Structure 1
Amino acid sequence: MTPIHPPFETNNSGYLDVGSGHSLYWEEAGLSSGIPIVYLHGGPGSGIEDSDRQYFDPTHYRSILFDQRGSGRSTPHASLEDNTTWHLVEDMEKLRELLHVDKWIVFGGSWGSTLALAYAETHPDRCLGLVLRGIFTLQREELLWYYQSGANFLFPEYFDPYQAIIPPEERGDMMQAYYKRLTGDDKAEQLRCADAWSRWEVSTSRLIVDPAYIAKADDPKWALAFARIECHYFVNGGFMKDGQLIEDAHKIKHLPITIIQGRYDVVCPAKTSWDLYKALGGKDNPNVVYNIIGDAGHSAHEASIEKALVDAVEKLKSIGK
């Protein structure tokens, strides 16, 4: 497996007006004439980081990254207005057209895998292939496992502070209780809830709990966008029919697809990735690779996950030749 590439700078960046008051920050790096590959960040709401472009060989790929609505450097910050899965799918098309890209590889993990599937199933003719990590399809059972009951059996000491911020009489629907507060008028309460919500997630994302990674939640601006936008999507079921992305997987089974899944991923357990693999044809479909990483959890920044992601991208270098 190949390690991630050394840091490198962007070639170009800007803002794209996508309507409804939203302006998306975007950037591109690597070889301007290379194979286009678009990076979809997680959350929703987390935004991109400089290290995200290091999965892509800058001597071969033209990497394109952007902050989704309300996230990162996009404006307005933490906005929920006209912010749905399908708005983001449309935004990707507008960005593709702005940058004069005919087709691109779609790369996403966690929520990024959700958006990648939604986009590819809507626009399969614009995809060269997909690299997906920590599969999340926003089904109700996935949400309940992590935010209501399931993951707390493995991380009880981190779940308790997440639960404690909600009064006992409202704990029967934790997502709805958080949503009420994250969208309420009390700004101090918004920030308290954003901190608790975000800290629960970053505490459970790695196989080995990493205090430095948990410190991401110390940034109130990042935590507010992350918690508000996630909760907005989750209480609304991703603005799609439950199970839709698995049901529609047949639309992309002709594309080269690599699925990378941490065996001990608590945030997005392996069952969903396995269900997707089967929906894509499983072992009978030579286009699909299913790669379980035996010593990793959810985070893309665990060493074995990083290597598997870079390796998957390396294997797609023949596309377009």
Structure 2
Amino acid sequence: MPSELPVRSGHLRVPDGNELYYEAVGNPDGPAVLSLHGGPGSGAGRAHRRRIDPGRQQSVTFDQRGCGRSRPLVTDRLDLLDRNTTPAQVDDIEALRQHLGIDRWMVTGASWGTTLALAYAQAHPERVSGLGLLAVTTTSTAEVEWVTESMGRVFPEEWELFAGAVERAPGERVVDAYARATRDPDADVRRHAAAAWGRWEDVHVSLGPGWRPDPRWHTSPTRDVLATLVTHYWAHSGFGGDDILRRTDRLAGLPGVLVHGRRDISGPVVTAWGLHRAWPGSELIVVDEGHGGPASTAALTRAVARIVV
């Protein structure tokens, strides 16, 4: 019987020794909505349950490989990190769809989740009924450079502390130094790098209305998992982030709603604008918030209601 509680949950074994925790709520025979969390590495929450009519629709989410309730955590198996890539995660999503017996679904995501949603939709457009993207990113080289280097012009004091918290080789990018430090053989080096990375994350999202420090960046092992996965993906430009805008033709005919905060300095609205311009038929909604917030979430919920019928 449809319920707000999980009606299906468990662990799905996928390649490379990973088991993904997933849950599906609502009507198992109804149209499906997939929710992709951010980070990479933040893990899935419960907000996705409130975006559907559980009597008519179903909502699915999962903890991406290496984080949350999935097994193993990346910090416990650093030897698996090089196999944790966007193409691998796209395959994970397809495996989950097949496991749940879903033909097509609307794919939603927030922040990093929007990059993964776009990569999946471009790989499997026939399996996607629409896209709802909040705090739009493509994890391009330019976006990574902005958030780890150029944004020091806005927060020069904090950036100096951030850039100096790990050892860098001459000419080495800050993100590459952190990616190296978070997989260092010395656990103290890894913890120190994760804490410094978390402090910078709190800084560059701090201009949004009602901002408060994110407890995930102050709690181990969540902080360490997040820092390890974020730096790994950002150092590699999201394993294909530079190609997303070039492949918007693969989204032709798919409805899409892009929700972005005008005050989102971590990911300026120009990324959402560029995607909207390159994707005919998409809708761009700009709200007076930072990197996500209640108005953005409400806009995404309305988008789900319009697209999932």
TM-score normalised by L of structure 2: 0.91
Q: CA–CA distance in 1 between the matches of 2:65 and 2:272? A: 26
Return the letter of the residue paired with 1:146: V
After superposition, what is the alpha-carbon deviation per residue over 1:140-182, rounded to whole angstroms, capped at 9, x for unaligned? 11101001122x3334454344223124766851011111110
Given residue 101 of structure 1, which amino acid in structure 2 is its aligned partner?
I
Residues 37 and 64, structure 1, Cα contact 8 Å, conserved in 2: yes
Instruction: Note if contact 1:203-1:214 (Cα within 8 Å) is conserved in structure 2.
Output: no
1:258 aligned to 2:249? no
Q: 2:53 aligns with which of 50, 53, 57?
A: 57
Runs of 4+ in 1 over 6 A off after TM superposition: none
Pick which of 200-209 and 99-108 moved more. Answer: 200-209
Question: 2:29 pairs with 30, 33, 36, which one?
Answer: 33
Report how far residue 8 of structure 1 moved. Answer: 3.6
Aligned ranges for residues 230-241 of structure 1 at < 5 Å?
230-240=230-240
Instruction: Kindly provide the amino acid, as one letter, of the partner of residue 51 in structure 1.
Output: A
Specify the alignment match of 2:285 in structure 1. Answer: 291
**Mapped pair 1:87 → 2:88:** yes
Verify the 8 A CA contact 1:163 1:171 in the aligned structure 2.
Answer: no
Q: Please tell me the residue identity of whatever aligns with 1:297.
A: G
Classify 1:8/1:157 alpha carbon distance in 2 versus 1 (closer, same or farther; 3 Å). farther
- Do 2:48 and 2:59's aligned partners in 1 also have CA atoms closer than 8 Å? no
C-alpha distance in structure 1 between counterparts of 2:215 and 2:154, whole Å = 21
Q: Does 1:218 align with 2:218?
A: yes
Counterpart residue identity of residue 304, structure 1: A
Aligned mates of 2:35, 2:170 — CA distance in 1:
37
Letter in 1 for 2:265: V
Alpha carbons 2:134, 2:258 under 8 Å: kept: yes
1:195-251 Cα offsets, whole Å, 9 max, x none, are 22123223433513633x4222111111111111111112122222x6210010111
| SS class of match (1:291) | strand
Written as runs of structure 1 = structure 2, the 5 A alignment for 1:1-321 is 8-78=4-74, 79=77, 80-150=81-151, 152-167=152-167, 172-205=172-205, 207-208=208-209, 210-211=211-212, 213-240=213-240, 243-281=242-280, 287-293=281-287, 295-299=288-292, 302-318=293-309
Unaligned runs of 5+ in 1: 1-6, 282-286
TM-score (norm 1): 0.88
- 1:111-155 Cα offsets, whole Å, 9 max, x none, are 1110111100010000000001111111111101001122x3334
Cα distance in 1 between the residues matched to 2:215 and 2:145: 25
1:77, distance to aligned residue in structure 2 (A): 0.3
* Amino acid of the structure 2 residue aligned with 1:264: R
- 8 Å CA contact 2:248–2:279 kept in 1: the answer is yes
Cα deviation, residue 52, structure 1: 3.6
Moved more, 255-264 or 169-178: 169-178
**How far does the alpha carbon of each residue in 1:48-70 deviate from its partner, in whole angstroms, 9 at most, with x for none?**
11234323332332000001110
Q: Distance in 1 between matches of 2:115 and 2:18?
A: 21
Structure 2 vs 1, CA of residues 162 and 315 (structure 1 numbering), >3 Å: closer, same or farther? same
CA contact (8 A) 2:85 2:233 kept: yes
Say if 1:170 and 1:208 are closer, same or farther in 2 by CA, change over 3 A.
farther
Q: What letter is aligned with 2:177?
A: A
Distance (whole Å) between structure 2 residues aligned to residue 238 and residue 309 of structure 1: 23
AA aligned to 1:123 is H
Structure 1 residue 21 displacement after superposition? 0.7
**Contact map agreement 1:195 1:220 (CA 8 A) in 2:** no
Secondary structure of 2:189 counterpart: helix
